[in-house]
Amino acid sequence: MKIFTSLAPHNLPRQQLAVHSWLRAGFIPYSLNIGEEIRLLEDSFRDVRFLEVHDEQTTIAYLGKAFVNIDAFFAHILRHGENEVCGIVNADIIIDPPFDLHDILIKEAAGGLVFGNRIDIHAPEERNGELFGLGFDYFFLDSNLAACYPASKFSMGKPFWDYWLPIVPLRKKLGQVKWLRTPIAFHQNHPTCWNREDYIFFCFEMAKSLQMADFAGATPGNRQAADAETLRRCSAAADKLLEEIRLSALSLSAAPAQSDFFTAKATP
């Protein structure tokens, strides 16, 4: 089973730990990067298959930096996915499931999507940490589902893409969308570079994509001034989207009996 990510040419040790965990779990890692980044990364990630993207497949035109568009991930999943379940995972996420994840994903993501939260930890060997409940870090989808997403400006490493991935099939009623509650993903804490302008920009991109009534008449294609009122509106929109995902997605969790190891039910 293939995992698609976008490795960054910095903070290499954390990403190496993540990639090694994917390999141990039997996944085949692919990384989407511009050519310059591939040249910087390939010697440190010999087991990763790099796929080159070009500027038009990144955010460089509207952010000034080359974060890979989610559209590019979908294109490569359709090209390399071979009608199988594939993963989209943030590059510093350690995957360490307490069960055979492959068989579960093949069954539960067939025709749909399985996604989940990470556990934040202080050291890479820890497995008891704090659930990060405000976003999602891994997605395993039927590769055919990738064709059902509309074009967008969302990108890995920027806000709102992780809400958009489950929201689209939920609203379009495309297969079953399942929120995996059993911890399988772990993330070592590190300083973050949160950017108000990016948060607002991608909130408006979400509003455009989903035709959100709260943003009717806005100009979502432009960089918005990072004022307090706009930020408040975007935070409220994020809360609503997360609640919609919570209420609409099926909840997937470990069951005691091996014969029925996972059960899906409506999220309470």
User: What pLDDT, in 10s, does the model give residues 179-225?
Assistant: 999 999 999 988 777 788 899 999 999 998 898 877 765 554 445 55
Say which residues have a Cβ less than 8 Å from residue 56's Cβ, sequence separation at least 6.
none
CATH architecture of 2-193+249-266: Alpha-Beta Complex (3.90)
Residue 221 CB-density burial (10 A; 0-12 exposed, 13-18 middle, 19+ buried): exposed
Task: Name the residue ranges covered by the structural domains of the chain.
Answer: 2-193+249-266
C-alpha to C-alpha distances, 14 to 7, 94, 124, 144, 242, nearest whole angstrom: 10, 9, 8, 31, 28
Q: What is the predicted pLDDT for the residue at 215?
A: 74
C-alpha to C-alpha distances, 86 to 18, 77, 183, 226, nearest whole angstrom: 17, 7, 19, 36
Mean of the per-residue pLDDT values of the chain: 90
The residues of the chain scoring below 70 in pLDDT are 216-226, 255-268
Q: What is the predicted pLDDT for the residue at 268?
A: 53
- Percentages helix, strand, coil for the chain (3-state, rounded to 5) are 40, 20, 40
C-alpha to C-alpha distances, 141 to 17, 37, 104, nearest whole angstrom: 23, 27, 12
Instruction: Note the helical H segments in the chain.
Output: 12-24, 35-41, 60-63, 70-80, 101-108, 161-172, 196-210, 228-248
Q: What is the predicted pLDDT for the residue at 221?
A: 44
Q: What is the predicted pLDDT for the residue at 211?
A: 87
Q: What is the predicted pLDDT for the residue at 61?
A: 94
Q: What is the predicted pLDDT for the residue at 119?
A: 96
Q: Which of 51, 3, 50, 49 is nearest to 24 (CA)?
A: 3
Q: What is the predicted pLDDT for the residue at 255?
A: 58
C-alpha to C-alpha distances, 132 to 67, 70, 104, 189, nearest whole angstrom: 23, 22, 23, 11
